């Protein structure tokens, strides 16, 4: 190791004392004096950054720390990336969670280059009214949710950015493309995306502040960000957001958020009821297809769903069917999916569901094979 630390041409030793014959002695002088190596020196940049990994194991590696109201979803100090087709509900889905975090005593900063203050304020007003939130909770939002409309950053704003966000638990960039444009960067270039991360995201990461980048997916690949593949490489936890039941001002629907890749090996899926005056919270759900792959068939709920569909003159969306038949929501959804998969009904996750033929539990040819609820 001494040979490695002492390597280097001697003619420059006078310019940088960190390249003196005995780097260990040089480091020791800072340790004894309580000083730090000169900023920008080789010691500051490299040598002083050595970590004894076994010592860290022996001391105890800190467990995963999640942000308030974010267990399993957003990790403290890490870089998160949400991707979805445009107009899916990324911003409002993130805002709903930001509010839950703030009400759990987190501090959130939102840099918005896509929607504008009027739209953000109207969405916040709708959530305050729908829940409803009292005056104390609204004061907490005012104090802990800091929103910036159309900010413009430069690549030398790193220190100012960290100082501005020093008290934040989470910083949200909504949405990504415009921040690259401000810096004169292209989203199709991996090198340009790396420059964006280095300028705006990595300084916050080094300060221990979590980040969340919202981005649009490509037209053909809806489960990954458009442009450079490094978008996935340089963020630690990747999510895809999709609409599984359409929603608007008058109709309640559902969003789904799922981890598609994580440097830490964790997984997770969450769903959010939204629309028609309702603003729920993200709820963690199990992967329904695990039950489906195991042959699970909730035959009683399947019959109730079939009877309901037969009575409908207008094809209902899935949420209307699950609400009508009752039971645990997870199993109600499996019942509808099973009817469609086995040809008793038709319809995809975005359209209404139509009865094709009646399903009755007593006539089920698979019932006696034990594949029931």
Q: How far apart are CA 285 and CA 271, in angstroms?
A: 7
Task: Look at residue 253 and tell me whether its pLDDT is greater than 60.
Answer: yes
Residue 67, in any domain of the structure = no
- Are residues 204 and 163 located together in one domain of the fold? yes
Last residue of a domain, one of 239, 266, 285: 285
Radius of gyration of the chain (CA): 27
Residue 234, in any domain of the structure = yes
Q: What b/e readout covers 93-131, taking b as 16+ CB neighbours within 10 angstroms? A: bbbbbbbbbbbeebbbbbbbbbbeeeebeebbeebbeee
Contact in structure between 301 and 373 (CB atoms under 8 Å)? yes
Contacts of 200 by beta carbon, 8 Å cutoff, 6+ apart: 153, 157, 158, 161, 173, 179
Residue 19, in any domain of the structure = yes
Task: Read off the DSSP letter of residue 49.
Answer: G
Q: If residue 126 lies in a helix (H) or strand (E), which one and from where to where?
A: helix 117-130
pLDDT confidence bin for 48, thresholds 50/70/90? confident
- Tally of domains within the chain: 3
* Burial of 65 per CB tally in 10 Å (0-12, 13-18, 19+): exposed
- Are residues 38 and 185 located together in one domain of the fold? no
Residue 216, in any domain of the structure = yes
Last residue of a domain, one of 12, 35, 50: 50
Per-residue pLDDT, 282: 95
| Full residue range of the structural domain in which residue 347 is found | 289-369
Residue 59, in any domain of the structure = no
Give me the helices (H) in 210-298, please: 230-233, 288-293
List residues bridging with 81 in a β-sheet. 213, 238
Read off the CATH number of the domain in which 207 is found.
3.40.50.300
- Are residues 271 and 355 located together in one domain of the fold? no
- Are residues 116 and 34 located together in one domain of the fold? no
Read off the CATH number of the domain in which 322 is found.
1.10.10.10
Task: Look at residue 258 and tell me whether its pLDDT is greater than 60.
Answer: yes
Last residue of a domain, one of 285, 316, 338: 285
Q: How far apart are CA 196 and CA 176, in angstroms?
A: 10
Q: Which residue reads 């009292």 in tokens?
A: 134
Mean of pLDDT over the chain: 85
Contacts of 248 by beta carbon, 8 Å cutoff, 6+ apart: 275, 276
Q: Tens digit of pLDDT for each residue in 83-113? A: 998 888 999 999 999 999 999 999 999 999 9
- Are residues 25 and 163 located together in one domain of the fold? no
Task: Read off the DSSP letter of residue 275.
Answer: E
- Are residues 118 and 218 located together in one domain of the fold? yes
Residue 332, in any domain of the structure = yes
Q: How far apart are CA 66 and CA 74, in angstroms?
A: 6
Per DSSP, the residues of 315-351 read: PPPHHHHHHHH-S-HHHHHHHHHHHHHTTSEE--TTS
What distances in angstroms separate CA 246 from CA 252, 273, 358, one per listed residue?
8, 10, 26
- Are residues 272 and 177 located together in one domain of the fold? yes
Residue 104, in any domain of the structure = yes
Q: How far apart are CA 120 and CA 215, in angstroms?
A: 17
Q: Tens digit of pLDDT for each residue in 161-203? A: 999 999 999 999 998 888 998 899 988 888 999 999 999 999 9
- Are residues 211 and 344 located together in one domain of the fold? no
- Are residues 129 and 112 located together in one domain of the fold? yes
- Are residues 173 and 142 located together in one domain of the fold? yes
Q: How far apart are CA 237 and CA 235, in angstroms?
A: 6
Q: How far apart are CA 215 and CA 290, in angstroms?
A: 29
- Are residues 154 and 297 located together in one domain of the fold? no
* Average pLDDT over every residue of 52-78: 94
Residue 217, in any domain of the structure = yes
- Are residues 116 and 195 located together in one domain of the fold? yes
Per-residue pLDDT, 109: 98
Contact in structure between 209 and 165 (CB atoms under 8 Å)? yes
């Amino acid at each position: 190791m001494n040979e490695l630390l002492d390597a280097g041409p001697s003619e420059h030793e006078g310019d940088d004392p960190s390249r003196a014959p005995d780097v260990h002695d040089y480091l020791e002088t800072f340790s004894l004096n309580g000083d730090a190596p000169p900023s920008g020196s080789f010691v500051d940049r490299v040598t002083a950054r050595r970590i004894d990994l076994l010592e860290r194991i022996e001391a105890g590696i800190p467990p995963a720390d999640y942000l308030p109201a974010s267990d399993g979803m957003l990790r403290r100090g890490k870089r998160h990336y949400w991707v979805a087709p445009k107009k899916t509900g990324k911003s409002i889905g993130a805002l709903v969670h930001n509010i839950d975090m703030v009400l759990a005593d987190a501090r959130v900063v939102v840099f918005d280059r896509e929607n504008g203050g009027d739209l953000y304020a109207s969405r916040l007003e709708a959530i305050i009214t729908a829940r409803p939130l009292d005056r104390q909770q609204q004061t907490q939002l005012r104090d802990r949710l800091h929103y910036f409309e159309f900010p413009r950053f430069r690549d030398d704003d790193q220190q100012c950015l960290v100082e501005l966000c020093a008290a934040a638990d989470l910083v949200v960039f909504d949405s990504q493309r415009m921040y690259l444009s401000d810096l004169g960067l292209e989203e199709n270039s991996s090198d340009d995306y790396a420059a964006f991360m280095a300028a705006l995201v990595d300084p916050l990461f080094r300060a221990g502040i979590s980040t969340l980048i919202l981005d649009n997916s490509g037209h053909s690949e809806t489960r990954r960000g458009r442009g450079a593949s490094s978008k996935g490489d340089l963020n630690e936890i990747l999510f895809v957001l999709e609409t599984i039941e359409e929603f608007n001002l008058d109709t309640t629907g559902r969003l789904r958020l799922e981890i598609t890749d994580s440097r830490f090996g964790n997984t997770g899926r969450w769903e959010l009821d939204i629309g028609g005056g309702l603003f729920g919270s993200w709820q963690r759900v199990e992967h329904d297809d695990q039950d489906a792959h195991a042959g699970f068939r909730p035959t009683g709920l399947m019959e109730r769903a079939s009877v309901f569909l037969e009575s409908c003159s207008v094809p209902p969306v899935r949420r209307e069917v699950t609400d009508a038949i009752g039971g645990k929501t997870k199993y109600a959804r499996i019942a509808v999916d099973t009817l469609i998969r086995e040809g008793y009904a038709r319809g995809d996750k975005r359209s209404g569901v139509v009865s094709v033929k009646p399903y009755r539990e007593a006539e089920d040819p698979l019932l006696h094979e034990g594949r029931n609820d």
